[in-house]
Amino acid sequence: MNKKYFKYINTLFVVFPMTLIMAFVGIVRNYGFGEDWVWKFLKAWSVMLPVAYAAAFVIIPNARKLAEKTASRS
């Protein structure tokens, strides 16, 4: 695999299932399984996926630095 795209594909493989789970839990918890729960789920997930994908590129490097600092103290 081309290392140039590895970071983007890896992030997508993490964000994709996480946003699916979060959207599903949020819809079921707030609205239940009403007659239009699938449509609400797809609408919520279509917003969550790009937001989470973009946020991951900001959060992951900072989290890695924080984890390295925390682990190196002990």
Can you give the length of the chain in residues? 74
pTM, two decimal places: 0.77
User: Cα-flanking dihedrals φ and ψ of residue 34, to 5°?
Assistant: -75, -175
- How many Cβ atoms are within 10 Å of 23's Cβ, its own excluded? 20
Q: Where residue 58 falls among pLDDT bands split at 50, 70, 90?
A: very high
Whether residue 26 is predicted with pLDDT greater than 80 in this model: the reply is yes
